[in-house]
Structures are given as structure tokens and as C-alpha cells.
Structure 1
Amino acid sequence: MNVLIVYAHPEPRSLNGSLKEFSVKRLRDAGHAVQGSDLYAMNWKAALDAGDSLAPATGDRFDPSRASKYAFENGLQSADIAAEQAKLKWADAVILQFPLWWFSMPAIMKGWVERVYAYGFAYGVGEHSDARWGDRYGEGTFAGKRAMLVVTTGGWESHYSPRGINGPIDDVLFPIQHGILYYPGFDVLPPFVVYRTSRIDEEKYAEARDALGERLDNLWNTAPIPFRAQNGGDYRVPELTLKDDIAPGRAGLGVHIK
């Protein structure tokens, strides 16, 4: 299988760097092909702007979505964007690895998403009508591919528990797992999270490494998070609210998981 690891940490000698190198070796030793996008090493341009299109400037007001659509459809995307899209097409599974900074991914990785997920490639695909609202949330360009987050955080696991001060880790990661990964069609596996990174000694590192190895070994047989498919019958279209008989009396992020 083909695995793409998109990685964001500025220090190669960090815990993240060590775990990333371990993942590459583990996957290759198991016979998988691996490509990587080390965003800091690549000096990835994070800001989406008019320079992402090679189309001649017209003087019109810059519309990010429209410019993205035109560049994608006409082969006028900047070379770095096109190269990352080719990796995503090639991959059977994608791993996003990053430290949790201020309750989200580092800005450089968010910029990777914003620039690489072009209109017509990762969003804006499929029929939009009163019967369907595009191919997304369970359908789309990446349907049939798998994705998983590998996340490190300085907080204790209890801080991210159901009653923890930071909120449940599944809620914290929901915008990434449901919005960035499930939206364009990935089957999203439960995240691999390493907590309290400042207290990782050799023994705890070995435990984290071995647990990650087990997750990598089972990348193709781990059950994905059972998010509800947009066009699977649970939502009204085009309102895209759950029907009254689905999870009655409940609200919040959890209702979008079966």
C-alpha cells in the first residue's frame, strides 16, 4: 500500500521527529511504499494568496475559491500545490502528524490544507441540488482512502477526558477529523495521541513507539470512526440537519457519529 505522511514540527530531533522516522521505517519494513511531506523542511508556504495561481493577473478582486477552481481546472496551480495533490492521489492512506498547538494543528499544516485542497479537487465536487449537496462527508475525491492523525500534546490525558478542562480529545480534533479528513471522503481512523510530552522518558517513549507501531500494523483493518454520511439518509437536504428521528433529543458534535 502507499502511505503519505504529512508532518509538521520544526525540530527533527523532537519526539515528533523520532516518531515520524519510526513510522517511515515500520511501514517500509512491512512492505509499504512511503512518501513524506516534511512541511518545515520544505519551507512550505502557508498563506493562500493570488500567487497560488499562474494565471495572469486581471486586476479583478481576488476571490480565493474562484481562483482556486480556475487554476485547478486549467493546470495553472503553483508547482508545490500540484506536487502535493499528486501525492494525495497516489496514497492509499494519509497520516497527518503534528503537535497540538493552541487546540489545533500548526499554522504551516493548516496552510498546507488550505492551499492543496483546491476547489474541484477536495471540495466543490459533485451535484448540488435539492436531492444532493455535493460529494462530501463520506464521498468525494478521497473516498476509499484511509486517514489517521498522530498527535502529541503537553496536556495530561485527563485534561482531554470527557470532563477534562480542555474538552474531550475527540471534540478538540473533530474539526480536523470530520471537517478536513471526512469531508473530502477519507475513512478516518481513531487518532493516535501521545499526552504529557514533557514527561516522556525512555520507558514512556518505548511504550508510545510500540503502541504507534501496533496502530501502523493495523492501518488497513482498524475500524474507522463511524461518522454519518451526508447523503446516506440521515440528513435533510439541502438544510443538512439531522432528521427528527435520528438521535432525537441530542445535539452537539457526537450526534454526527453513529
Structure 2
Amino acid sequence: MSKSNTILWLSAHPEPSSLNGSLRRDAIEHLRRTGHKVLESDLYAMGFDPVVRARDGGRASGAERERFRVSTDTRDAFISGVQPPEIIAEQTKLKQADALVVQFPLWWYGMPAILKGWFDRVFVSGFAFGTDPDTGRRLRFEQGPFVGKRVLVATTLGDRPHAIGPRGKSGELHELLFGLLHGTFAYTGMSVLPPWALPSADRITDYERARDDLRRRLDGLFTDAPIPYRPQFTGDYTPEWELQPHVRPGEHGVRVHTKQ
């Protein structure tokens, strides 16, 4: 990576001295040492509130109670510039970033609640998806607002390596993370890199090997090929968002949404 880029490092682990904390510090230091600007959102250290509340829709505390329409009200608050300041700050970081790295331990096969809440509050309609009010253009997938940004998930797991393989009991990694990789990142237009995962994290004996492996993936942040998820508006899907009958006929499951 010779060109300097801006990277947002979004992380969620409650213990700074943990394996995740160490990987985070070393990885950010590596990125900065190679000439990149790194913005940070360490959610536990920030005390980030993950809960969507009426104030996210521009409702002042103590205001007369009306029905809180989550999608509509948060979109209106974004357009009107009356979101809570902590949400505006996170959206500003993301707009400045050329790439996003999302680091977390996989808990119960999902993100920690504080990280899920970050997406709930930050990725609101009008900012991360929606419809262009002037043209009616649907802002998602290859037309999403984050086209041009790259994203890498870096996660640690308790599972043994083969447990997250093609025949593993926990499921293949890309399929296990499909909701995040495809339903959040690709949906908003990002180029999604294959995730980096460290299995058997509770039993790791060679930290330097894991650290160096993550560094290698970061060195390819702007050059590695992304997952070839199918675009939505070029003929592979019906108007009801179902794969066309002629595309991989007889196959089903999340794997059909990537090009062979």
C-alpha cells in the first residue's frame, strides 16, 4: 500500500489488555507506520450507547409523547441535521474513511451488542441507504452511498479451525457472517473483503504469528479482491429481489448470491 488512505478502525471489546485489544493496538500502529491515517471508534472505551431511542429521531427529552417511527424519524433527523452529536461524529468518521475495519470477538455467533447497536444508530435511512429524492434511484448494493469504500472484518472465535470450515459444525465463515458482510456492507455499497478470523482464540500460543497474519491482510486492504457479491440492478434478480430462475438453477442458500 503505497498510497496514503484514511481508515476507520471500529472495535468492540471491553478489555484493553485482551487479545483483541493487543491486536487492535498493533494493527493500528502498523497502518500508521505505513503512512495511513487511522480514525478510531473503540466503542467500549467511548461508552457508546447502543440503544436506539426517540432522541435519535430528533425528539428532545421530555417532549410530548408521539409515536416513534424509527426509520422515518431517524431519516428525517439525519436530513434535518438534528441527530444526537455522537451519531453525527460517527457518520463523519465514516464519510472521511476510504476503508473500514470492523474488529470484534464473535459472541454467540454474532457481534457484541454494543457493535450491533452502532450499526442500528449510525446506518440510518438517508445516510447508509434509501432512495434519491430527486431521481428515485434506489441507494443500495452497486448504487449504495458507500460505493468506493472497502471493508474488512477481523474477528476472533472460540471455535476450532475446522469447525468454521465448509463441513464444520458452526458453518462456513462467509455464510456465518452473511448478514453482516452482505446484508450490511454490500447492501450499502461497500466492497467487502473476505473476513479475517482467528479461531481457537482462547487457546492461542503464538501471538506474533496471529499479529503478523492480520498485518498481511491489512497490507492488502486496498488491493485484495473483494467477495464477488451479485449486483442487484443488472438482471440477476427479479423485481421481488429473488434470484432469476436462469441464474444457478436448482441451487439455493446464501452462496448463490456470489458469482462463481
Structure 2 gaps, min length 5: none
2:82 aligns with one of 76, 87, 105: 76
| TM-score, reference length from structure 2 | 0.94
Deviations 1:6-65 (A, max 9, x none): 000000001100110111111101100001100000000011010223345453211111
- Report how far residue 73 of structure 1 moved: 0.8
Structure 1 gaps, min length 5: none
Q: 1:249 maps to which residue?
A: 250
Counterpart-to-counterpart distance in 2, 1:250 and 1:26: 42
Counterpart-to-counterpart distance in 1, 2:139 and 2:232: 8
How many residue pairs match? The answer is 253
Pick which of 45-54 and 98-107 moved more: 45-54
1:61 aligns with one of 63, 67, 83: 67
Q: 2:229 maps to which residue?
A: 227
Q: Percent identity?
A: 44
Q: 2:9 maps to which residue?
A: 5
Q: Is the 8 A contact 1:128 1:134 kept in 2?
A: no
Q: What are the residue-to-residue correspondences of 1:140-179 with 2, within 5 Å?
A: 140-179=144-183
3-state SS, counterpart of residue 59 of structure 1: coil
3-state SS, counterpart of residue 147 of structure 1: strand
Deviations 1:166-218 (A, max 9, x none): 111111111010011111010000001000011111xx211111111111111
Counterpart-to-counterpart distance in 2, 1:133 and 1:243: 21
Letter in 1 for 2:250: G
- Report how far residue 128 of structure 1 moved: 11
Counterpart-to-counterpart distance in 1, 2:170 and 2:137: 33
Counterpart-to-counterpart distance in 1, 2:57 and 2:134: 26
Aligned: 1:193 with 2:197: yes
Q: 1:95 maps to which residue?
A: 101
Counterpart-to-counterpart distance in 2, 1:196 and 1:101: 13
